[in-house]
Amino acid sequence: MATQAAEVPARRQTLRDRLDLGSGIAPYILVLPTVVVILAVAAYPILNSIWLSFLDNPLSPSASFTGLTNYITLFHSNTFIASIGTTFVFTIISVALETVLGLGVALLINGMFPGRGLVRAAILVPWAFPTIISAEIWLLMYNDRTGIISYFMQQMHIIPPGATLLETSSGIVAASIITDVWKTTPFMALLILAGLQVIPSELYEAASVDGSSKFQQFWTITLPMITGPLIIALLFRTLAALGVFDLFYVLAGNQVQSMASYSYEYMFTRTTFDFATGVAAAVVLFATGVIISIIFAIVMRVTRS
């Protein structure tokens, strides 16, 4: 007669089991110091800034809570509304150009050719410069008398003699976009190149045997395979472009403002009564970045499913 083995009662989980690195709480304990540091250097300043944006004069010992008054004042300001438009125009155009050019550069340097390592190092030089230095360099080239860019634009009758691209608001935005594209395209190329490096060469060989053209290989193999790295690169660049400050600070001064430069002006160059408005502008910029990050996260999850 067949016998049935008696079920062995489950062993009670010991403290050592709960602390096991595979499934216990030890991983959380190990990352706890990092979480504490992040909360100290990021979460607290953010929450504190949100609280200050609800006060009438945060720098005064007798500051009082005013609710959404600072935000109402902010969105009734034509200057701030204009800074939102300037920021989004700059972000959309510059990130789009950097993505297209970065993808092209990544495809070029992904192949095998003599001196590939030197070329890869050379294209990173613009990105290595601090943004403030890049802006100062390009400011000299935009100079109406000695600037090489102004000279060529004058010779091509794009601008009149003695004029410069930095005389109008649209010209300042265009100059900022050109400078940002020159500086940050290598960064996009580097991130996209990392995605290209992991694509198996066998896929291209099989596609070539099947008679696929280079464009068909790019559309059906390369682009789908680099979707993940491309979305991450777009997220990084979009958030960085939204917070642009250095370029407009150097090239425009107070003539054209981004959301970041508007916040800086009201927080540090005006009276203490304007400080709360500047903080509110910074909070709006932060909220915009959070919303865009969530959108990118949703897109990334959809593309992976």
Of 242, 243, 270, whose CA–CA distance to 254 is shortest? 270
Report yes or no on 147 lying in a domain: yes
> Mean pLDDT across the stretch 128-151?
88
Question: What is the spatial distance between Cα 245 and Cα 238, in angstroms, rounded to a whole number?
Answer: 14
> Residue 123 falls within a domain, yes or no?
yes
Asked whether residue 33 is assigned to any structural domain, the reply reads no
d(CA 78, CA 247): 21
Residue from 250, 256, 292, 299 nearest 92 by CA: 292
| 45 domain-assigned | no
Q: What is the pLDDT of residues 233-284, one digit of tens each?
A: 999 999 999 999 989 999 888 789 999 999 999 998 888 888 999 999 999 9
Tally of domains within the chain: 1
CA atoms within 13 A on the CB side of 250: 21
Q: What confidence category does residue 1 fall into, taking pLDDT thresholds of 50, 70 and 90?
A: very low
User: Average pLDDT, stretch 154-171?
Assistant: 86
Residues 218/222/223/228 CA torsion (nearest 10 deg): -170
Top mean-pLDDT range of 52-61, 92-101, 124-133, 191-200: 92-101
Cα 63 to Cα 215: distance, rounded to the nearest angstrom: 63
CA distance 55 to 57: 6
- The domain that contains 289 carries what CATH number? 1.10.3720.10
Report if residue 174 sits inside a domain: yes
What pLDDT score does 12 carry?
A: 67
pTM of the model: 0.84
Q: Which of 3-12, 23-32, 204-213 has the highest mean pLDDT?
A: 204-213
| Enclosing domain of residue 97 | 81-304
Establish if 17 belongs to a structural domain: no
Q: Is residue 266 part of a domain?
A: yes
Let me know if residue 53 belongs to a domain.
no
Output the average pLDDT for the chain: 86
